[in-house]
Structure 1
Amino acid sequence: MDIPPPPPPPPVPALDFLTVISEARRIVNAHSRHFLALSVLFLLPLSFSLTVYPTLLSLTSSAGPNSAAPQSLLSLHHRSDSSNTIAATLAFTAFLSLFSLFAASSITHSTVQGFYGRPVKLLPAIKSIFTSFFPLSVTVLCIQLIQGLILAILGLFVFLVVKLVELIWHRIEYSSPYFVGFVALITLAFVVIVFYLQVEWALVYVLVVAESVWGFYPLKRSTYLVKGMRKVALCLNLFFGFAPGILLCASSMHSNTGWKSWAFVVEIVALSSVLTMFMLLHLAANVVLYMYCKAIHGELAMEIAEEFARDYVSLPFDEGKVPHVVSVAYT
């Protein structure tokens, strides 16, 4: 009696944007309470402040003295308002930077643990902040240094072009459409370059936390790992850039008196919650993208072989669902 041939193996899912999002959701749902706690601690203050800050800024700027007041009092009030606005902006920026680093280190650490099927606990996630804060800070400074250098080069190019035009024509109209278009073109070039670098450096934060590297090295390694997955990284940056941006634009379209209504409070709470969800999913998706990039370059299988030392490893992304099986071939 002939033995029937075995059924064909299930098709391997394509490594695309939807697959990365799906795997990130699996990890988050498998440890929903843990990620909820981290989101409340670090992401919710971020999203709430981003949602409320434009309204508070408009309220403080609109509140001013009577126009019939003496000119000296008006000028003094304007100087005081400008200094208060600068101080508030600096404090707000520092707050965003700190909580962004806290969220990136803790959530990235927990997502890596969840991907490998290790225990995901709150205390180790909090401890990862202390070990990753300095490397993340230095790496962010390196990124800003490169971006500032690019901006300085483009600014120098504009300056040289302006001086060259002045030498030839002895005069330049800064309000002319040609000059405005030229500056807009240079600005667009800077935005495109920065966005391209964001795609190339999509794995930087994950590398700092997962591989304990910092400085310029994570930038170089991220550029290497993201090869072959640039389209996915581009889609992730576009999706998690435009969707929260639309929410923030919606939150800034409030009148100065709208904050007194209950509808405004409900809207702020809803927007903050949705924005928190986007931030959490973005951080988890970056970790999944990092794992897929390592798998493409043949690094993930070796790590699993060294850690578990067996032929087949089950990665329990979610309870009650079919686990993902990684086959390790030894040579």
Structure 2
Amino acid sequence: MKITQVHTVNLRTILSETTRIVKANNTDFIALYIFFLPLAFSLVITPTLHLHLSGSFFTVDLFHNSLANNQTLVTCHLLYILIVYLLTLCAIGTIGYSTYNVFIGTPVNFFTSLKSLTFIFFPIVSTAIIAHLLLLLISLTCLLFVGMIVMLGKSLGILVIDYNSIYFMWFSIATIIGITIYFHMNWCLAFMVVVAESKWGFAALMRSWYLVKGMRSVSLSLLLYYLICNGGMAWSFSHTVSFCVLRRETLSFVLLTMFGSFFLMLCLVMNTAANTVFYMYCKAFHGELELEIGYGFDHHYINLPSSDDTVVGA
């Protein structure tokens, strides 16, 4: 048996261990990847459909007027978004459950992972709703606070700000993005807490915040890495597919949509698995997991670092 003592936890470590786990056990829960397919397909095709409807066949005003006058279309669109979102949460739950069990050396298969939804689905949905509501309230509070400072500065003659200025708009967007990234960096393990520790809601968010403490540089690196990968892949494929639509190249459109959805789906799977691996390393960092973890069918083992010998690097 090969034992590897790890002293440095960084982005490369997380990605390396994630790749090994996914490759070694890919056939055991590959059917779970299908849960991510609707999201991947939507990210690739939605910009193209909007361009096609608003640019090729209709004017923008006609398109928006048709949405306003057709309540059925709006309802179906919202229902589709809800279904895609729920399937995405199912993907995160089942793939996280599978990766977690593989990581600790417990046999897992498709039906076992699917069965896990019976006890993790509603806690994950509840945790997601609470996280979104908290993030919305925090963002609004920060924007109101900044607005009060700006209004006070204008009343005192210290600041001169044009609310219609493009710079003010970008400042507001940057503020919201910064808040979202900060809290996502600290709440990134909340779903894994639901899966592995049966905690949900505010308790899962606080537990994630505690586990990430001391590992935030790795959490931020992991977040930005997959944000760039997923965003770049979705943008490049959707842009290419849109070009095929404008050129009326049907075969290229179909092939690129299929390939784009497939590769984006794989990237989302790797993202979820990486969060699971990061969760295990965070537990080890806090001295909660000082044991050897098996890689299932790979038969290689890793001795996770304790809080005394772990060095965190971005």
TM over 0.5, shorter chain: yes
Please state whether the residue corresponding to 1:120 is helix, strand or coil.
Answer: coil
Query: Is the contact between residue 29 and residue 318 of structure 1 (CA under 8 Å) also seen in structure 2?
Result: no
Which whole-Å CA distance do the structure 1 matches of 2:15 and 2:288 have between them?
Answer: 21
Q: CA distance change for structure 1 residues 75 and 258 in 2, over 3 Å: closer, same or farther?
A: closer
Alpha-carbon deviation of 1:11? 5.6
Q: CA distance change for structure 1 residues 52 and 78 in 2, over 3 Å: closer, same or farther?
A: closer
In structure 1, what is the equivalent of residue 31 of structure 2?
Answer: 37
1:257 to 227, 238, 246: 246
Query: Is the contact between residue 13 and residue 19 of structure 1 (CA under 8 Å) also seen in structure 2?
Result: no
Q: Does 1:324 align with 2:302?
A: yes
Q: CA distance change for structure 1 residues 189 and 174 in 2, over 3 Å: closer, same or farther?
A: closer
Q: CA distance change for structure 1 residues 245 and 139 in 2, over 3 Å: closer, same or farther?
A: same
Specify the structure having the higher radius of gyration (Cα). Answer: 1
Alpha-carbon deviation of 1:226? 0.9
Q: CA distance change for structure 1 residues 260 and 300 in 2, over 3 Å: closer, same or farther?
A: same
Q: CA distance change for structure 1 residues 158 and 292 in 2, over 3 Å: closer, same or farther?
A: closer
Which whole-Å CA distance do the structure 2 matches of 1:54 and 1:206 have between them?
Answer: 31
Could you list the runs of 5+ residues in structure 1 that have no partner in the other structure?
A: 1-8, 68-73, 305-312
Alpha-carbon deviation of 1:46? 2.1
Please state whether the residue corresponding to 1:300 is helix, strand or coil.
Answer: coil
1:78-157 to structure 2, matched below 5 A, reads 78-83=64-69, 86-157=74-145
Q: CA distance change for structure 1 residues 146 and 327 in 2, over 3 Å: closer, same or farther?
A: closer
Which whole-Å CA distance do the structure 2 matches of 1:243 and 1:251 have between them?
Answer: 12
Query: Is the contact between residue 38 and residue 106 of structure 1 (CA under 8 Å) also seen in structure 2?
Result: yes
Query: Is the contact between residue 26 and residue 317 of structure 1 (CA under 8 Å) also seen in structure 2?
Result: no
Query: Is the contact between residue 317 and residue 324 of structure 1 (CA under 8 Å) also seen in structure 2?
Result: no
Return the letter of the residue paired with 1:28.
V
Please state whether the residue corresponding to 1:32 is helix, strand or coil.
Answer: coil
Q: CA distance change for structure 1 residues 64 and 216 in 2, over 3 Å: closer, same or farther?
A: same
Which whole-Å CA distance do the structure 2 matches of 1:13 and 1:270 have between them?
Answer: 38
Q: Does 1:49 align with 2:42?
A: yes
Q: CA distance change for structure 1 residues 78 and 324 in 2, over 3 Å: closer, same or farther?
A: closer
Q: CA distance change for structure 1 residues 87 and 182 in 2, over 3 Å: closer, same or farther?
A: same
Query: Is the contact between residue 26 and residue 318 of structure 1 (CA under 8 Å) also seen in structure 2?
Result: no
2:188 to 179, 202, 225: 202
Return the letter of the residue paired with 1:151.
S
Alpha-carbon deviation of 1:174? 3.7
Which whole-Å CA distance do the structure 1 matches of 2:154 and 2:6 have between them?
Answer: 62
**Percent identity (aligned):** 34
Alpha-carbon deviation of 1:261? 2.5
Alpha-carbon deviation of 1:76? 7.8
Alpha-carbon deviation of 1:185? 2.3
Please state whether the residue corresponding to 2:275 is helix, strand or coil.
Answer: helix
In structure 2, what is the equivalent of residue 300 of structure 1?
Answer: 289
In structure 2, what is the equivalent of residue 12 of structure 1?
Answer: 6
Taking structure 1 as the reference length, the TM-score comes to 0.79
1:125-274 to structure 2, matched below 5 A, reads 125-157=113-145, 159-161=147-149, 163-164=151-152, 173-175=162-164, 177=165, 180-253=166-239, 254-255=242-243, 256-258=245-247, 260-274=249-263
Please state whether the residue corresponding to 2:108 is helix, strand or coil.
Answer: coil
In structure 2, what is the equivalent of residue 71 of structure 1?
Answer: none
Query: Is the contact between residue 123 and residue 201 of structure 2 (CA under 8 Å) also seen in structure 1?
Result: yes
Which whole-Å CA distance do the structure 2 matches of 1:173 and 1:140 have between them?
Answer: 36
Q: CA distance change for structure 1 residues 10 and 76 in 2, over 3 Å: closer, same or farther?
A: closer
Which whole-Å CA distance do the structure 2 matches of 1:195 and 1:215 have between them?
Answer: 19
Which whole-Å CA distance do the structure 2 matches of 1:172 and 1:314 have between them?
Answer: 57
Question: Whose relative contact order is higher, 1 or 2, with alpha carbons under 8 Å and at least 6 apart?
Answer: 2
